[in-house]
Structure 1
Amino acid sequence: MTIEALIFDKDGTLFDFHKTWSAWADTALMDFADADPEIYHRAADAFGFDTRTKRFRPDSPVIAGTLIDVADLLTSLRPEMPRPRLISWLEQSSHSVPQIEVTPLWPLLTAFRQQGLRLAVMTNDSEEPARAHLRQAGIADLFDIVIGADSGFGAKPDAAPLQAIARMLKIRATDAAVIGDSLHDLHAARSAGMTAIGVLTGLATAEDLAEAADLILPDISHLPAWLDPPSAPSETP
């Protein structure tokens, strides 16, 4: 098997989901509720956010949802806030959230580039916040393509955005691997005819991902060993 391109999810794959987003969620939900405890708890329940542990639950719809999906979880709780304003607020509040890398990203991604691999990001986040997070980490220029759910190609678990990346890179789908932390990522990869690699830096367990993964790794730092496995020792006659 020849792999020419690696297509990464963002949250939970390049960046640790809990360490990056749980603190933001608690503050953002309180801000959304305007300090009203009832609205805060109802919003947290809609988010799949545990207010006691201050962590997202594994079944949270936020994990793989788009910005519009997330906004739709909240619209009924603050009907006086127009939906476009709510979407704009979510985008702005998440734009500058410090991203916690799952492993030092710059040397890892640079090594992939030096091997001749093409790199892309396909996230169900919006494109501009995604680019801002990559710039914040100093890795934006290492990617050939960055697209989000609002880039005009659809969102995961649909295969269309991954197929669009393959067309833009001028490669066959079978020559790309998709790396993600959710079933949305892996189902999209399978539907697109790409290798589906699960990582455990989101909230899903290996058991959760097993049904759709060709391979499960602890995190993306294990990709080099998969791409270039050590040769078996030759037998001595």
Structure 2
Amino acid sequence: MKLAVFDCDGTLVDGQADVCWAMARAFARAGLPAPTDHAVRRIVGLSLPAAVRALAPALSDEQNHAVTEFYRSSFRARREEGLLDEPLYDGIAEMLRALHAGGWQLAVATGKSDRGLAACLASHGSADLFVSLQTADRHPSKPHPAMLEAALFEAGANAQEAVMIGDTSFDMAMARSIGVAAIGVEWGYHQPAELIASGAARVVATAADLAAALEETLP
């Protein structure tokens, strides 16, 4: 058994433009000053309520809920209008297919919603590659390990048979907390030094480097 569990935004796909747009729109609709794009990119990977809380900790629960719901409706409308742009990073499609063909089990653990993840994977024709899809709809926000634990359970793997791949310190800390090896990618939203400090065994620069690192981690 070899299980590779991937984060989505910032690891498999680059959806930062839409995330920043939807967050700015949500804050504006709630009558609140919008966070900077840099601040928004820093919280990608958290569940939506936790992300809004991190961006604006002084908001009341009611305000947090309003921003969260405005974000969801804005993002959903953008998808339904065909305006959403979540391209796969270079080499990711080929790497996923090669890992799958080589006997790896693949899973996703993401701060996206069930609907958002399903739509994203379907748009790239890759949903059939994954044995487990874990989202923030059914789990506490990262770095809580619940979604990673669920991926292990559904794949029938133990912690020593799995690797977590992500672009944020949230992913690395989640993996470290339950003894899963972690590999960081440098094309996402947190810096390599942060990933190493949070538990990454290594940080890779390309999809090809990631494939090689996975084989070295679980030969």
Q: TM-score, normalised by structure 2?
A: 0.81
Following TM superposition, by how much is the alpha carbon of 1:75 offset from its aligned partner in structure 2, in angstroms? 9.8
Q: Are residues 1:200 and 2:195 paired? A: no
Unaligned runs of 5+ in 1: 50-54, 230-237
Instruction: Tell me which amino acid in the other structure corresponds to 2:34.
Output: A
Which residue of 11, 14, 29 maps to 2:12? 14
Length, aligned pairs only? 208
Residue number among 110, 117, 133 corresponding to 2:97 in the alignment: 110
Q: Find the aligned partners of 1:79 and 1:6 in 2 and give their Cα distance.
A: 36
Larger displacement relative to structure 2 (184-193 or 69-78)? 69-78
1:61-100 matches, within 5 Å, as 62-72=43-53, 73=55, 83=65, 86-95=67-76, 96=79, 97-100=84-87
For residues 106 and 63 of structure 1, what CA distance do their matches in structure 2 show? Answer: 21
Query: Alignment partner of 1:144: what SS?
Result: strand
Partners of 1:163 and 1:31 lie apart in 2 by 32
- 2:38 is aligned to 56
Relative distance call for 1:69 and 1:154 in structure 2 (3 A) is: closer
Give the structure with higher Rg (CA): 1
Quote the offset at 1:64 in angstroms. Answer: 2.9
Deviation at 1:105, TM superposition (A): 3.1
CA distance in 2, matches of 1:210, 1:160: 22
- Aligned partner (choices 39, 43, 47) of residue 34 of structure 2: 43
Within the alignment, does 1:163 sit opposite 2:161 as a pair? no
Residue matched to 2:137: 150
- What percent identity do the matched residue pairs reach? 28
Q: CA deviation at 1:160?
A: 2.2
- Runs of 4 or more, structure 1, over 4 Å off, are 71-82
CA distance in 2: counterparts of 1:57 and 1:26, whole angstroms: 13
Q: What is the match of residue 141 of structure 1?
A: 128
| 1:131 equivalenced with 2:113 (yes/no) | no
Aligned residue for 1:33, secondary structure, equals helix
User: Structure 2: any 5+ residue segments left out of the alignment?
Assistant: none
1:145 to partner: Cα distance: 1.0
Give 1 or 2: higher helix fraction. 2
When residues 143 and 220 of structure 1 are mapped into structure 2, their CA distance, relative to the original with a 3 A threshold, is same
Residue by residue, what CA displacement relative to the aligned partner does 1:84-121 show, whole Å, maximum 9, x if unpaired?
A: x5433322322422102112433221111111100000
Query: Does the 8 Å CA contact 1:103/1:221 hold for their aligned counterparts?
Result: no
1:160-186 deviation digits (Å, cap 9, x = unpaired): 221121111111111100001111100
Contact residue 66 and residue 149 of structure 1 kept, 8 A: yes
TM (norm. structure 1) is 0.75
Conserved? CA contact 1:91–1:129, under 8 Å: no
1:210 corresponding residue in structure 2 = 196
Q: 1:27 Cα deviation (Å)?
A: 5.9
User: Letter of the aligned partner of 1:177 in structure 2?
Assistant: V
Query: What RMSD in Å do the two structures reach over aligned CA positions?
Result: 2.9
